[in-house]
């Protein structure tokens, strides 16, 4: 992750260095300017990588103690809960937020304090022959006394960059998305329409992204020229300059190529009507989750697969349950793994859902397999405690092996001639 993050920032710094070269150099010839900016920024790539190591690395080190504190708070307040059930423990969640918010604000202040002091380091490395360490020191010196005004400008630009994609998304949702509902349901119409819709949204988003990156580079260039060279701004381009037909032709060719590629990808998909219905924790919107009642309801609803969660009891039995604690469904504060199968079977995990499910017990995986046998598949989500992963996996496999033996006996019973079979009551349901 650190290597990936470092390479990402190297590419960003390289891009910003090229844009800084474009911003401060004369604009008499756009093609020569672009090639010179690419060459000069590439030559400074080792120094840019060193600057990434110092700047990004320092910010990560600054982040570390705050993340450690947030992790400790999370473990204290929310560690025994899962993200899907925080809404049922609103006071606990608000306690965590109340403790974490000051830490987040403190980190934002510290990171901003450091960022503003090092804001000119990138222009100094990209435009002058400064080493990364020299650039950081000189940036601190140049920004002294100007940090409030620089911070206001950076904050204003950040708000604009963040708000533009939101506004564009809202515009597309209000103006163009309703038009899709009026289209006839034919692939020959829907695929081109969706392609045009998505392509238009992506192109506008990319344009906004480019504008934001360019604006950030231009702001850095202006601050560098003003603070380092006492010039109000980079020189303006001549009035008669333009991008040229060749540049527009290249841009148009790229767009046409991207559109054809997207068209080919969309048409390579096979549109089918076969959909697998998977019941999450059983039919948990109609019956209490991970219970036999939820499994039965899933079968009535026509589910092809039923997703269930399994945990290990203290006597190594595989049981259906989602949470680490018994608190959410039963009000008991004990952890699931502290209780035996017999103790767990005494809990009522259905009354919280509705009176019709009173005394619904926690089933074992063997009971779930028997209930869905031959009617649906199971998707077993394993929920081990730390250090219990292999033990729980082995217990699940043992239960599945036992179920396979039962199913084999059922298959053998059904395929043998009836006259050769003794009249004995079967202990299992096939």
What are 159's two structure tokens? Answer: 């708000």
Choose the catalytic residue: 30, 186, 229, 280.
280
Through-space distance between the first and last CA atoms of the chain, rounded to whole angstroms: 50
CB-based contact 323:85 (threshold 8 Å): yes
Whether 280 is catalytic is yes
Look-up of token digits 């306690």: 95
Q: Would you list the DSSP string of 117-175?
A: HTTTHHHHHHHS---HHHHHHHHHHHHTTTHHHHHHHHHHHHHHHHHHHHHHHHHHHHH
List, in order, residues 6 or more apart from 142 with CB less than 8 Å away: 120, 227, 228
Task: Quote the CA–CA distance of 179 and 63 in Å, as a whole number.
Answer: 46
Q: Is 377 left (phi over 0), alpha (psi -120 to 50) or beta?
A: beta
Distance CA 143, CA 153 (A): 13
Is 229 tagged catalytic?
Answer: no
How far is C-alpha 187 from the chain's CA centre? 31
- Which one from 30, 59, 304, 322 is the annotated catalytic residue? 322
Three-state SS for 129? coil
Closest CA to 386 of 311, 328, 329: 311
State the DSSP H helix or E strand holding residue 79, giving kind and residue range, or none if neither: none
Any alpha helices (H) in 78-131, and if so which ranges? 90-117, 121-127
What is the Cα–Cα distance from 160 to 256, expressed in whole angstroms? 30
Catalytic positions, please?
Answer: 280, 322
């Amino acid at each position: 992750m650190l290597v990936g993050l470092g390479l990402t920032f190297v590419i960003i710094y390289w891009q910003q260095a090229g844009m800084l070269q474009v911003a401060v150099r004369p604009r008499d010839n756009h093609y020569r300017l672009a090639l010179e900016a690419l060459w000069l920024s590439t030559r400074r790539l080792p120094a840019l990588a060193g600057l990434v190591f110092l700047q990004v690395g320092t910010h990560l080190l600054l982040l570390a103690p705050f993340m450690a504190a947030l992790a400790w708070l999370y473990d204290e307040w929310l560690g025994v809960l899962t993200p899907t059930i925080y809404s049922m423990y609103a006071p606990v969640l608000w306690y965590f937020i109340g403790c974490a918010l000051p830490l987040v604000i403190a980190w934002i202040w510290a990171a901003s304090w450091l960022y503003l002091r090092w804001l000119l380091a990138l222009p100094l490395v990209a435009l002058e022959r400064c080493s990364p360490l020299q650039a950081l020191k000189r940036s601190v010196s140049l920004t002294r006394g100007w940090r409030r005004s620089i911070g206001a400008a950076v904050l204003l630009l950040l708000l604009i960059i963040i708000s533009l994609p939101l506004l564009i998304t809202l515009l597309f949702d209000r103006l163009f998305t309703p038009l899709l509902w009026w289209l006839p349901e034919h692939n020959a119409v829907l695929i081109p329409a969706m392609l045009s819709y998505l392509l238009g949204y992506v192109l506008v988003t990319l344009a906004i992204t480019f504008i934001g990156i360019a604006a950030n580079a231009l702001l850095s260039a202006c601050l560098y020229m003003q603070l380092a060279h006492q010039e109000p701004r980079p020189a303006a381009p001549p009035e008669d300059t333009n991008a040229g037909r060749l540049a527009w032709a290249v841009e148009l060719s790229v767009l046409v190529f991207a559109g054809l590629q997207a068209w080919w990808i969309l048409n390579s998909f096979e549109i089918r009507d076969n959909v697998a219905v998977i019941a999450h924790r059983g039919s948990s919107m109609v019956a209490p989750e991970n219970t036999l009642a939820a499994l039965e309801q899933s079968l009535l609803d026509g589910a092809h697969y039923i997703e269930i969660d399994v945990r290990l009891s203290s006597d190594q039995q595989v049981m259906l349950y989602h949470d680490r604690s018994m608190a959410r469904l039963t009000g008991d504060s004990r952890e699931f793994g502290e209780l035996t199968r017999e103790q767990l079977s005494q809990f009522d995990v259905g009354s919280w859902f509705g009176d019709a499910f009173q005394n619904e017990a926690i089933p074992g995986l063997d009971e779930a397999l028997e209930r869905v046998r031959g009617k649906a598949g199971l998707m077993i989500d394993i929920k081990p405690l730390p250090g219990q992963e292999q033990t729980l996996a082995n217990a699940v496999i043992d239960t599945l092996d036992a179920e396979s033996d039962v199913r084999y006996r059922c298959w053998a019973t059904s395929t043998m001639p009836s006259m050769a079979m003794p009249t004995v009551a079967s202990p299992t349901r096939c």
